[in-house]
Amino acid sequence: MADNTAILKAGDKEIELPILSGSAGHDVIDIRNLGSNGYFTYDPGFMATGSCESSITYIDGAKGVLLHRGYSIEELARDADYIEVCYMLLHDKTPNTEEYQDFKNTITRHTLVHDQVNNFFRGFRRDAHPMAMLCGTVGAMASFYHDDLNITDPEQRLRSAYRLVAKMPTLVAMCYKYNIGQPFVYPRNDLSYAENFLNMMFSVPAEDYKISPAVARAVDRIFILHADHEQNASTSTVRLAGSSGANPYACIAAGVASLWGPAHGGANEACLNMLEEIGTVERIPEFIARAKDKNDPFRLMGFGHRVYKNFDPRATVMRESCHEVLSELNIDDPLLNVAMELEKIALSDPYFAEKKLFPNVDFYSGIILKAIGIPTNMFTCIFALARTVGWVSHWHEMLSQPGQKIGRPRQLYTGYTKRPYQKIEK
């Protein structure tokens, strides 16, 4: 057998399957010709199936590695800003000074949404979940750009990508303002991406809003650290929707809907809910003991990660920002006190080290968002805002590759075989 071929024995039949190697990570067995031999693979959750070829993001969970276009997430979070990361994800290279400024200006000029979008919000109840509003308004954006939706045109695809990256902070801030009954705040072209978002969230007509540089930098880092995470559920949803030829706004709305699931985008919200359940510093030992008890259903949220078996590389950088923000704001909040004490115990208790249950990015981002006054029901919206550039990068990449087909997973059918039908009167 050649090094680049696997042999599958199925009954008395042998099927040759090519082995493909990427630039990093595991080799994959190309199973595309199994169907013509009468077989399909069975892989619930696609845990061992490569669904596409991509050059955007690489993760090695065992080693705690996360690379965007070959650049480590730690370096990007410390030395780049979100706009630079957006350019890099979309264009497969870091921008020079001129490219960066042109891209930044383009994003800034597209932050304003059509005035008719205001009317969409008025159709929602005031207590509507922000993700419900975001899902609806993102999908509705297609109605404003129906002459610029040719997905076979790379230039039109990029314009759509730029619009989505630019307008998502405006839509997310509108969701928040509508919930609390305050007037929408227009974007300002003199502010950075993160500063503009904070201003649209928290400024009011009655007084000036002073933006803390530490808070703006922390929010920018949250955006960077959530920009993309390979073929996760929402990104795969965007790709699957895009494979049908759907317009980009419908695809990103599908991604928003997938992210809304508590098993995906609600991790930092679940972390805050856990802190509320613990309540006080004095009760932490009780919950630590429960977390160690295999028979107790309680689980510490925000510790460990499904993908990272060692540590979450994003958490180290996010921890720095978390402590900077708490120091800057000097907030006396019982929940934040619980979080900091819980972090201290988790980093010193041998049990957590043995189980590799280190605080992850959701733990720290949830604390930061809580500290700056963002309610928990908005956390997933902010995740969607940050992840939009990852979604559109994968969507654009997929449509740029030749030979793309509509996604059509197979199934293992376990229902009835053919049986006779009786008319209802019998």
Local confidence band at 2 (pLDDT 50, 70, 90 cut-offs): very low
Local confidence band at 33 (pLDDT 50, 70, 90 cut-offs): confident
Take residue 147 and report the two structure tokens written for it: 């002459």
The pLDDT tens digits of the residues spanning 211-266 come to 999 999 999 999 999 999 999 999 999 999 999 999 999 999 999 999 998 778 87
* % of the chain beyond a pLDDT of 70: 97
- Is residue 364 packed enough to be buried (19+ CB in 10 Å), middle (13-18) or exposed (0-12)? buried
pLDDT at 129: 95
Local confidence band at 328 (pLDDT 50, 70, 90 cut-offs): confident
Contact 103, 343 (CB under 8 A): no
Contact 340, 368 (CB under 8 A): no
Take residue 185 and report the two structure tokens written for it: 């705040």
Which range is least confidently modeled, 48-57, 300-309, 359-368, 399-408? Answer: 300-309
Take residue 137 and report the two structure tokens written for it: 């308004």
Domains of the chain, start order: 5-50 (2.20.28.60), 71-402 (1.10.580.10)
Can you give the pTM of this predicted structure? 0.87
Take residue 403 and report the two structure tokens written for it: 């030979």
pLDDT at 3: 58
Which range is least confidently modeled, 70-79, 133-142, 242-251, 273-282? Answer: 273-282
What percent of the residues of the chain are helix, what percent strand, and what percent coil, each to the nearest 5? 55, 5, 40
Strands 28-29 and 57-60, how do they pair? unpaired
Residue 298 pLDDT more than 50?
Answer: yes
The pLDDT tens digits of the residues spanning 42-66 come to 667 777 777 888 999 999 888 889 9
pLDDT at 320: 85
pLDDT at 323: 85
Q: Which residue has the higher pLDDT, 181 or 30?
A: 181
pLDDT at 1: 33
Contacts by residues 39-44 (CB-CB < 8 Å, ≥ 24 positions apart)? 39/8, 39/10, 39/15, 40/410, 40/412, 42/412
The pLDDT tens digits of the residues spanning 144-156 come to 998 999 999 999 9
Using CA atoms, how far apart are residues 377 and 266, in angstroms rounded to an integer? 9
Using CA atoms, how far apart are residues 342 and 333, in angstroms rounded to an integer? 14
Residues serving a catalytic function are 305, 362
Q: Which residue has the higher pLDDT, 181 or 272?
A: 181
What average pLDDT does range 409-414 have in this prediction?
85
